[in-house]
Structure 1
Amino acid sequence: MSCTIIVGGFFGDEGKGKIVAHVAHKDKPTIISRGGVGPNAGHTVQVGEKEYGVRMIPSGFVYPDARLFIGTGVLVNPDVLRQEIEYVGVEGRIFVDGRCSIIEPKHIEQDKADAYLSKKIGTTGTGCGPANVDRVQRIAQQAKDNPELAKYTIDVPLEINQALDRGENVILEGTQGFGISLYFGTYPFVTSKDTSASQIAADNGVGPTRIDDVIVVFKAYPTRVGEGPFGTEMTREESHALGIEEFGTVTHRERRIGCWDGTMARYSAMINGCTIAAITGIDNVDEACYGATEYEQLTEKAKEFLRKAEEDIGVPIKLISTGPEMSQIIDLR
């Protein structure tokens, strides 16, 4: 039996989707279940030449032998869910907890019309904040009350815990990043709930004693979309000179790029209870590392970066991403 949580250690966009996909293919879980806020975070997974961007279903869908769940704590937009089920072809594999709250059209309208949220905070306009307000006020619609979702609804915590009782492997997949946690992030420039590993466990109804590993994903060059403090941010000219130019999966806004932040990485690892660290974008540190699948193939420049990062984090780095494609990874677990 193994229950692994995978979360982002910086501001999101760390490459969690790629890490989830790799770990799923190696660890062969029977269930991959999503926690987090809702469809305001996108995950990109590249398999060969095909690139998938999803924001509602777990990014581990690329592993075909797992059932896919959306945990109790997640907000569900039925339209986005339906589109993604058709887009990636997971009908019959995807299930939603009946207690998930629903994002309604009014929530999206409120999100976009609110100048504080849309301009000052820089939210994604997907309705998540207003939907969570309704949830807290106990007036939200739940998935079990939505006819469109009737065939997908199950008791996610019960299914996960029974699978663990049977000795099966489970992956709990987080969204967003530690830096925009409602509790621990750069408030008020944060999302509408906590995003730490503890919250991802709670979102899925899994108690802390059942968690075996917490993989925290860090990016060699952290990025941030939207407003808010970013202590190591570089100018666009500097990032473009390094050949780094990225855009958000959901918003398509150009991501702000920063240098490695060892202080934030250590604090994030502490709050998340990190047991395994993953580093993505090592090919941005040295492009000669692109596509490497063995540690010995890395350059000395990259190895020195990893040694310093591991010292900062205080936890072994056992997953090193060397490119966007799912197979471009070094796994030292």
Structure 2
Amino acid sequence: MTCTIIVGGQWGDEGKGKIVSYLCEKDSPYIIARGGVGPNAGHTVEVDGEKYGIRMVPTGFPNKKVKLAIGAGVLVDPEVLLKEVEMLEKFDVRKRLIIDYRCGIIEEKHRLMDKSNEHLSKEIGSTGTGCGPANVDRALRILKQAKDIEALKEFLGDVSEEVNDAIDAGKNVMIEGTQGTLLSLYYGTYPYVTSKDTTASTFAADVGIGPTKVDEVIVVFKSFPTRVGCGPFPTEMPLEEAEKLGIVEYGTVTGRRRRVGYFDFELAKKVCRLNGATQIALTCLDKYDNACYGITEYGELTDKAIEFIEKIEKATGVPVTIISTGPELHQTIDRRDEL
């Protein structure tokens, strides 16, 4: 039994939602706990042809046997969260969700501050969800906590206790990180970053476990990195070129057009080091090479795709164990038993 952390390896939008949902379905962990900043990160999960844009609930929700948790380090917007619980009613999320009573709460004043601050909204490209201002209030010790919100009472619990008890009992635990490493307040492309660290170490702290409890760290890379908003992007390609390749994407939270680039092998190496990566999950291989769409066996991939994967492994020193070849959960190559 293992404790696994899932981390974004670029500027977010790497397809972590698909990877987390696949692992939840395949490995059926006892609990999946969400770390990260808050509702400024969006994950898209496709189940039976239907897409779900998720900002608060852990993306392992399709597996009804799994407990869902939001760690104390995560900011919660009650309005966003309760809408998601209602939207995911057929997945019995209400019965399975645990919100740590120490989670910080985003209020309307935080959203207004986020949107009205010209530096944040225009220069930095904030999502406007109130996370930055809420984290300021948290540092000032004036932020409300989940335990103060009546509408959240039915979900409250101690996520650290839940997760540590599960690990001690030898059960599978999964920690879902949000955003991407290169958006880290400490290690990202500052100042064009989010309002806290977004590496595996912080995700462990967000849900209340120590580093010795972590067995695996899976860093998720997209075959072509994308970025929403401003900030450095060393391998960015012109939008016209991205359109020719059929790569036109929009952010789950903001709806803004994503900038597109070529895979950055040197940055991937740095990201794997920062997170202590033990595995790599590679998404959107079908867009890197259309001939790979829907393939579920590694040996059936094209030479072009295999060369690309091997180049990533050589550059990072980390095995590529999970490969996504399409949006559906079954469109996945899983090499964990082979390597």
TM range (shorter): over 0.9
TM, length-normalised to structure 2: 0.97
Out of 133, 137, 148, the position equivalent to 2:136 is: 133
Residue 156 (1) aligns with residue 162 (2) = no
2:291 maps to 1:291 = no
Partner residue of 1:124? 127
| Distance of 1:179 and 1:225 partners within structure 2 | 12
- Residue 263 of structure 1 corresponds to 266
> How do 1:165-204 and structure 2 match up within 5 A?
165-204=168-207
1-structure distance, mates of 2:237, 2:63: 36
Which residue does the alignment assign to 1:62?
Answer: 62
Question: What does residue 78 of structure 1 align with?
Answer: 78
Task: Using the TM superposition, give the Cα deviation of residue 48 of structure 1 relative to its aligned residue in structure 2, in angstroms.
Answer: 2.1
CA distance in 1, matches of 2:290, 2:84: 33
- Specify every segment of 5 or more residues in structure 2 that has no aligned partner in the other structure, as ranges: none
Cα shift at 1:62: 1.2
Report the Cα offset of residue 64 of structure 1. 1.2
What amino acid sits opposite 2:296 in the alignment?
T
Q: Which amino acid aligns with 1:35?
A: G
1:251 positional shift: 0.5
Which residue identity is paired with 1:128?
A: C
Structure 2 CA distance for aligned equivalents of residues 210 and 26 of structure 1? 22
CA–CA distance in structure 2, aligned partners of residues 264 and 196 of structure 1? 14
CA-to-partner distance for each residue in 1:91-142, whole Å, 9 max, x for gaps?
Answer: 1111100000000000000000000000000000000000000001100000
Instruction: Write out per-residue CA displacement over residues 223-272 of structure 1, whole angstroms, 9 at most, x where no aligned residue.
Output: 00011000000010010111111110000101000000001100000000
Question: In the aligned structure 2, how far is the partner of 1:74 from the partner of 1:260?
Answer: 30
Deviation at 1:195? 0.3
| 1:1-333 superposed matches below 5 A | 1-89=1-89, 90-333=93-336
Q: Distance in 2 between matches of 1:41 and 1:297?
A: 34
Counterpart of 1:62 in 2: which secondary structure?
Answer: coil
Q: Kindly provide the amino acid, as one letter, of the partner of residue 131 in structure 2.
A: C
How many positions carry a matched residue from both structures? 333
Cα RMSD between the aligned structures?
0.6
Q: Deviations over 1:174-206 (max 9, x none)?
A: 000011000000000000000000000000001
Distance in 2 between residues matched to 1:150 and 1:196, nearest whole Å: 30
Distance 1:64 1:232 in 2: 40
Structure-2 separation of matches of 1:177 and 1:126:
17
Alpha-carbon offset, residue 28 of structure 1 = 1.1
User: How far is 1:310 from its partner?
Assistant: 1.1
Identity of paired residues, percent? 59
Q: 1:258 and 1:313 mapped to 2: Cα distance?
A: 19
> Which segment drifts farther, 60-69 or 184-193?
60-69
Task: Give 1:327's aligned amino acid.
Answer: H
Q: Secondary structure at the match of 1:217?
A: strand
- Give the TM-score normalised by the residue count of structure 1: 0.99
Q: Which whole-Å CA distance do the structure 1 matches of 2:136 and 2:3 have between them? A: 31
CA distance in 2, matches of 1:64, 1:18: 16
CA distance in 2, matches of 1:59, 1:195: 17
